[in-house]
Amino acid sequence: MSRFLVFTATGQVGSALCSELLLRGHEVAGVTRNDAAAGRLVQRGISPIVGDIRRPEELVAKLDGFDGVFLASSDARDQDSTEMRLIEHLQSIGTAQVVKLSAQSAGLNPPVSFGFQHRNTEQALERSGLSYTILRPTFFQQSLLLMSGDVAKKKAITAPMGKGRTAMVDVRDIASVAAHCLTDSKHAGKIYTLTGPAAYGFSDVTAKLSDLIGVKIGYTSPPAPLARLVMPLLTGMPRWKTTLLVDLMVAVRQGAQEQVTSDVANITGDDPRTLDAFLKEHIASFLP
C-alpha cells in the first residue's frame, strides 16, 4: 500500500482518481480549499488537506511523505505560475513521482488556448529533475453535461466548432491512466495523449441525443467573433476564460482533436469508454 496526494481532489478527474486509488487499496490524501469539501472527502475515506493551491507556501509542510502526487489545478489566468511554484516545492522535498494533468492543446505546435499555460508547466516539470508523467486529454465527455440545460430547455446545442470532430474522452479513463502512472515507474518520463475510441462532431452528438430522447436536437455553430462577444454574457464566465474556450473550439473546428490514440487501452488494458455509452448513462441530464 502506498500513499498518494491528489490536488483538486473534488474536481472531475481528481475525484475519479481518488476512487480508483482507494479501490486499489492505497492511502489517499486530497487537497481542497474549504472545510465543507474536506468533510465530503473524509466520508469517502480520503484524508483532507485544506489549503489554497495558489498559496503553496501554506501547503508545503503538508506535501511531504507521499509516494506520488497528482498535479492539477482549476483554470485560472495564473495557472502555469501556480503549478510551477508547486513543482518547486515538490522538487525541494524530493517527491518520488508526479503525474501532471495537462491538455491535448499543449501538444499542438504552437500550443493553443489553455495549452499555452499547460505547456509552460510541462516544461518546468521536465526541467525539475523529478520523475514525472504528463497526461494530455482531449475534450471531456463530461463537459457535454454543461450543455444539458440547453438541450433540455431549447432542444439545441450552440458551439463555434463547425464540422470539427473531437475524440472525446471520459474522465474515468483519464483517472485510470493516472492511477497506473502513479503506481508503475515504467511510465516515468512519458507524455500520453488520452482520447476516446472515435472522433465525433457536435452534429453527431445532437443526432445521437435526438435518437435517445426521441426529439430533434439542433446544432448551431456561430462565427468565432460572435461567440467571443456573447459567451461572457450568456455564461457569466470572465472574458479571459471564454476567449480561451473559443480559441479551443476554433482549434477543434480546424481538426486539432480528430486524432484517436491507443494510449488509454495500452496503459490500462481496457478500451476507452464510448460516447454512446456516456450519453446513455447520462441521458436523464438532457431531459426536460
Classify residue 213: in a domain, yes or no.
no
Residue 56 has pLDDT above 90, yes or no: no
pLDDT tier at 248, thresholds 50, 70, 90:
very high
* C-alpha to C-alpha distance for 4 and 52, rounded to whole angstroms: 18
pLDDT grade, residue 124 (50/70/90)?
very high
Sign of the torsion formed by the C-alpha atoms of 239, 241, 246 and 251: positive
The DSSP call for residue 123 is H
Query: How large a percentage of the chain has pLDDT more than 90?
Result: 92
Give the count of domains, the chain: 1
> Is the per-residue pLDDT at 186 higher than 90?
yes
How wide is the angle at C-alpha 170 spanned by C-alphas 56 and 113, nearest 5°?
55
Is residue 58 included in any domain, yes or no?
A: yes
Whether 22 maps to a domain, the answer reads: yes
Q: What are phi and psi of 71, to 5 degrees?
A: -100, 115
Judge whether 209 lies within some domain: no
Is residue 52 pLDDT above 90, yes or no? no
pLDDT at position 34 is: 87
Burial class (CB in 10 A: 0-12, 13-18, 19+), 50: middle
Question: Is residue 186 in a domain?
Answer: yes
> Is residue 211, in this structure, part of any structural domain at all?
no
CATH number of the CATH domain containing 7: 3.40.50.720
| Distance, CA of 168 to CA of 200 (rounded, Å) | 8
What is the DSSP annotation of 133-152?
Answer: EEEEE-SBGGGGGGGHHHHH
Range of the domain at 39: 3-140+169-195+259-272
Question: For residues 277 and 34, which has the higher predicted lDDT (pLDDT)?
Answer: 277
One-character DSSP codes across 218-262: EEE---HHHHHHHHHHHH---HHHHHHHHHHHHHHHTTTT----S
* pLDDT score, position 251: 97
Which pLDDT score is estimated for 28?
98
Establish if 55 belongs to a structural domain: yes
pTM of the model: 0.96
pLDDT of residue 60: 82
* Per-residue pLDDT reduced to its tens digit, 130-179: 999 999 999 999 999 999 999 999 999 999 999 999 999 999 999 999 99
* Element holding 14 (H helix, E strand): helix 12-23
**Share above pLDDT 70 across residues of the chain, in percent, rounded to a whole number:** 100
134: in domain:
yes
